[in-house]
Amino acid sequence: MSLVGARVLRKEDPNLITGNGQYVDDLQPAGCTSMVFVRSTEAHAKIRSIDTAEALALPGVLAVWTSANIAQLANCPGGLPGLDQPLLAKDVVRFVGEGVAVVVATDRYIAADAAELIIVDYEPLPAVASLSAAMAPGAVVLHEVLGGNTVHFQDFENPLDEAFAAAPRTASMHIVNNRCAPSPIEPNVCLADWGRSGLTLWAAFQAPHHLRNTIAQYFGIPQDSTRVVAPDVGGGFGAKINFVPEFFLTALLSKEIGKPVKYTQTRSECLVAMLHGRAQEHDATVAFDNDGRILALKLTVTQDQGAYPNGTGMGLPVLTTAMAAGCYRIPAVAISWRNVVTNTTPVAAYRGAGRPEASFTIERLIDLIADETGVDPVEVRRRNFIPVDAFPYATHSPLAMYDSGNFAGALDELLKHVNYDELKKEQEKRRQDPAAKLLGIGFSSWLEIAGFGPPGSLEAFGHLASWESAQVRIQPDGSAIIFTGASPHGQGTVTTYAQIAADELGIDFDRISVKHGDTAVVPQGIGTMGSRAVAVGGEGVKTASGRVYENAKRIAAHLLEASAEDIIIEDEKFFVKGTPARSVPWSEVAWKSFQPLELPGGMEPGALDSTVFQQVPNFSFPSGAYCCVVEIDRETGGVNIVNMYLVDDCGTVINPLLVEGQVHGGVAQGIAQALYEHMLYDPSGVPRTSTFMDYLVPAASDLPGYITGRINTPNPSNTLGAKGVGESGSVGAPPAVVNAVVDALSHLGVKHIDMPVTPIKVWNILEGAK
């Protein structure tokens, strides 16, 4: 029986449900000390002085550092040269939450006490806390070397003036894609131990080899004695791919004081120091005919980079504009983007990273076209879909060569679950009844770019390469250990990879282990991000397992005095097809694979050990169709999701249980962006949502149940056919939710509401209409 496609319970769970998981903060090596930050309370200020005397005098304090202690050191890696963030602020702070000083003490209470005793004297400067403020004439400049606040501007190659002038109709929108805080429940944690044999850094991170390579380079130390370990990691969502000063400071301080140094971020710190996501504004214009057929699209993305731009943040508008046309055939597309710095927390990847922003805008535009033409939103989608026979389909962007999909098929499947006609009637009925809640139905036909990626793609974000490593190592008893450079933090990769390997090797699932997250153990690696763990890493496991299996068959054939081509396996026994009575078990093949005298000619011990650096020729393109049904309370403006219908096409499903979990989780974060979450700053750059009291990560009572369906167009870029599913929900859900709310209020002339759609925004609309 094939395990690929089976609902297998997770190997990860027994540890995690008993408290035996091992997260970085759970590690407490002998002599472990605690590091605490003093973080800027000013959005933009000169530092006049820092008084550390009282903190240093506190018993138990081992070190207090400011930028003066590390003046000779380079700035934090990952940034843009000249605009990068110092490990500790030098002379100027540029956002609330920027590190100004650190204290190391024998325990976290003393370190926190000492941090309170440090007095920083600031000379406040004017701050720009929004894109409009940063781009206003005469705005204060964050980085003098830039001369302004625009880091990069990519103009239209061709603004399509003629296409727009000739079009029967055009419509425009300004869309704010709200800034979100990724907020894994485990914040950033790291523990450095830099002793005589080298540096070991345990870190809550998604790409340990990436961090190992970078930290070794930063300190000029060899990689062989630099070890990074990402043990159990409590969620990442893209925020744990970024280099932050914490990693480098704990390492340096450990070397300085000769003890392990641990940093455990508080939630309030996490909300301002862990890099944010989204934070884009879009100006979109679309040209279309009276039947709702799109003729041209023009999109300018303005990306808020926060105070210190980084490579990932700079890549976000590139991904957004590449995916601007969604799953539609649009004859002419013009894209332009601008990266701008503000006095806010830096911005980088958050689940979906650039693609949720793209799908939100194109799906809002589709509904706008429906509204303008009177054609039903479902029909507008159908009229513009790229047809199923058009793949491979070249878009306006060289990054996005769509290779598979069935957008109309996904919508058809969705409508089997949604009683659309009845809902439309019910909506009309309720509009006539002032006591009834308003009803809205919203659709989203979404598409994303995932499975990162073909050679060169991750290199552009500073990674070593774009492959993923897989090593399959048969043990002498015939069990298997798989080492992967993927670095899971909730995805269930250990289970998924064991399923793939079990099928390829013919070894029982229970006798396959998967190891990850340790640069001293895993050959090399890239990491888990961009929905790549199965589409790239899983394919690597399949390739390596297949190579091992071929050699195992050769050994079995040798032992059975048969030809390898005739050998098959069942129940962990190799035999010649048709003669199962004479067989050799996997355990014997494995044992003898290490004994030169037992091997066929030309084979050497170690033949059942294969390492693959799996490459893929293209990105993958997961897609789907979602529908959200909302009710709106006319008295409070509160939006309640009645039903959320989700049809995904992630290609081949390895484990439906885990795919379901990924879809739910992504959709939950998408709904959260649409209705609840917004990292807000006041005009002076002070964050207004810096605790979980006011940054609204939804609870169980805030979210609906999900009705899921699936279609499958296999990924042609790997033999598994899998596309990846980790980010899909966060790409597809926000437009479905907002389209539903706008639909509910469309009789009042509402064309758009920016996220999050809070009760007060809706209430103001309802009051204004009275």
492 near other proteins (CB under 8 A): yes
Cα distance between residue 183 and residue 195, in whole Å: 33
Taking the complex as a whole, the smallest distance from the CB of residue 98 to other proteins amounts, in Å, to 19
According to CB under 8 A, which residues from 138 to 197 bind other proteins? 183-187
17 near other proteins (CB under 8 A): yes
585-616 as b/e: b if 16+ CB within 10 A: bbbbbbbbbeeeebbeeebeeebbbbebbbbb
Closest CB to other proteins among 33 and 524?
33
Using the contact rule CB under 8 A, the part of the chain among 166-174, 443-451, 571-579, 698-706 near other proteins is: 698-706
Taking the complex as a whole, the smallest distance from the CB of residue 485 to other proteins amounts, in Å, to 19
Query: For 618, phi and psi rounded to 5 degrees?
Result: -150, 165
Using the contact rule CB under 8 A, the part of the chain among 7-15, 153-161, 312-320, 337-345 near other proteins is: 7-15
Residue with tokens 């805080």: 181
Interface residue with other proteins among 9, 74, 388, 521 (CB under 8 A) is 9
Interface residue with other proteins among 199, 244, 658, 762 (CB under 8 A) is 658
697 near other proteins (CB under 8 A): yes
10 near other proteins (CB under 8 A): yes
Query: For 710, phi and psi rounded to 5 degrees?
Result: -155, 145
End-to-end Cα distance, the chain: 64
Structure token digits, residue 168: 């029967």
Using the contact rule CB under 8 A, the part of the chain among 210-218, 280-288, 565-573, 691-699 near other proteins is: 691-699
Cα distance between residue 467 and residue 453, in whole Å: 7
490 near other proteins (CB under 8 A): yes
409 near other proteins (CB under 8 A): no
Taking the complex as a whole, the smallest distance from the CB of residue 107 to other proteins amounts, in Å, to 8
Taking every pair of Cα atoms in the chain, the longest distance, rounded to a whole number of angstroms, is: 91
Task: Identify any residues that bridge with 356 across adjacent strands, giving them in sequence order.
Answer: none
Helix H or strand E encompassing 590: helix 586-592
For residue 171, the tally of other CB atoms under 10 A from its CB is: 16
| 137 burial level (CB within 10 Å; 0-12, 13-18, 19+) | exposed
Task: Identify any residues that bridge with 173 across adjacent strands, giving them in sequence order.
Answer: 284
668 near other proteins (CB under 8 A): yes
- Which among 528, 25, 461 is positioned nearest to 237, based on CA atoms? 528
Taking the complex as a whole, the smallest distance from the CB of residue 705 to other proteins amounts, in Å, to 5
Cα distance between residue 516 and residue 23, in whole Å: 14
Q: At 312, which amino acid appears?
A: T
Closest CB to other proteins among 184 and 317?
184
13 near other proteins (CB under 8 A): yes
> Computed from CA positions of residues 635, 641, 643, 648, in that sequence, does the dihedral angle turn out positive or negative?
positive
727 near other proteins (CB under 8 A): no
Interface residue with other proteins among 1, 30, 145, 699 (CB under 8 A) is 699
23 near other proteins (CB under 8 A): yes
Contact (CB, 8 A) for 236 and 350: no
- Which among 113, 111, 117 is positioned nearest to 34, based on CA atoms? 111
Cα distance between residue 94 and residue 489, in whole Å: 31
14 near other proteins (CB under 8 A): yes
According to CB under 8 A, which residues from 546 to 585 bind other proteins? none
Number of residues that bind other proteins (CB under 8 A): 58
149-168 as b/e: b if 16+ CB within 10 A: bebeeeeeeeebeebbeebe
Taking the complex as a whole, the smallest distance from the CB of residue 701 to other proteins amounts, in Å, to 5
Cα distance between residue 611 and residue 544, in whole Å: 6
30 near other proteins (CB under 8 A): no
Closest CB to other proteins among 343 and 491?
491
Taking the complex as a whole, the smallest distance from the CB of residue 44 to other proteins amounts, in Å, to 26
20 near other proteins (CB under 8 A): yes
12 near other proteins (CB under 8 A): yes
763 near other proteins (CB under 8 A): no
643 near other proteins (CB under 8 A): no
Cα distance between residue 65 and residue 102, in whole Å: 5
Cα distance between residue 367 and residue 486, in whole Å: 39
Closest CB to other proteins among 564 and 657?
657
Taking the complex as a whole, the smallest distance from the CB of residue 32 to other proteins amounts, in Å, to 10
Cα distance between residue 500 and residue 415, in whole Å: 33
Taking the complex as a whole, the smallest distance from the CB of residue 618 to other proteins amounts, in Å, to 28
Interface residue with other proteins among 164, 205, 237, 586 (CB under 8 A) is 237
Structure token digits, residue 203: 């870190």
232 near other proteins (CB under 8 A): yes
SS3 745: coil
Using the contact rule CB under 8 A, the part of the chain among 128-136, 389-397, 633-641, 694-702 near other proteins is: 694-702
Q: Within 13 A of 563's CA, how many CA atoms are on the CB side?
A: 2
Using the contact rule CB under 8 A, the part of the chain among 228-236, 390-398, 534-542, 554-562 near other proteins is: 228-236
- Which among 653, 528, 647 is positioned nearest to 236, based on CA atoms? 528
Closest CB to other proteins among 165 and 693?
693
Interface residue with other proteins among 669, 713, 728, 739 (CB under 8 A) is 669
For residue 309, the tally of other CB atoms under 10 A from its CB is: 28
Interface residue with other proteins among 72, 165, 700, 767 (CB under 8 A) is 700
Extended beta strands in 155-260, E state:
169-177, 189-195, 198-203, 226-229
According to CB under 8 A, which residues from 100 to 129 bind other proteins? 108-109
CA 45 remoteness from chain centre: 32
660 near other proteins (CB under 8 A): yes
Interface residue with other proteins among 26, 84, 283, 754 (CB under 8 A) is 26
734 near other proteins (CB under 8 A): no
Site string (250-279) toward other proteins, x via CB under 8 A: --------------x-xxx-----------
Query: For 765, phi and psi rounded to 5 degrees?
Result: -65, -45
Interface with other proteins by CB under 8 A: which residues? 9-10, 12-23, 25-26, 28, 108-109, 183-187, 232-235, 237, 264, 266-268, 489-492, 657-658, 660-661, 664-669, 691-693, 697, 699-701, 703, 705-706, 729
